[in-house]
Amino acid sequence: MNLTAELLAAKRTDYPEVQPLSAVESEHIEMLPETFERGGYGWRDAEWVVQWYYRRFLGAYPDGRRRDREAAYDENSFEAVQAAISGAVAAEETADRMAHLTDLAGVDVPVAAAFLQFIDPKRYVVVDERLWTVLQRAGAIDTAYPDPPTVAEYERYLDRFRAVADRHNESLWDCYRALWVLGEDVSADAPGP
């Protein structure tokens, strides 16, 4: 697969038709960075990120697994969530930001990456098998998706993702939307189990 600027632009344009959560995602990508930075958020704002991570797959994510992970997150106290997000906002390095977030129950590296995306969408993007596979098929990553990735594997993925976005003059968020649509195409082309 050859990721060209024209292909990314076309797929990004298709995103609202492919992802019904597009409008609410756009609202949150605008609202949450400042909200997390100021600390002026409630339980539901932070919980939304966790729910978004799993529910954006629109039923393709195993429901029992989604519910278990969301339930595990809900065991955190609001004070613990605030401390983790504040720590992630204040930290300088990706690994330190991840460490704060993954201290929370129900938050592994992919969910922590989702938090980072909504904390600082100019520097971070979520990771999942769908996006990873698109980058792998495009030759930007040379390994299969590790389920779940480690922090070091996420950092390597993030470097590759940033390189693709920079090469085509796309923001990380716009590149995410294009690769998400490409991921649907890749999934449709994949052989069955």
Q: pLDDT (tens digit, 9 = 90+) per residue, 52-91?
A: 999 998 877 655 678 888 999 999 999 999 999 999 999 9
**Residue ranges of the domains in the chain?**
5-187
Residue 192: its pLDDT value, please? 34
DSSP type of residue 104:
S
- Residue listed under structure tokens 């966790």: 50
Residue 58: its pLDDT value, please? 82
Whether the per-residue pLDDT at 186 is higher than 80: the answer is no
Other beta carbons within 10 angstroms of residue 138's beta carbon come to 17
Q: CB–CB of 120/33 below 8 Å?
A: yes
Q: Which amino acid does the sequence have at 140?
A: A
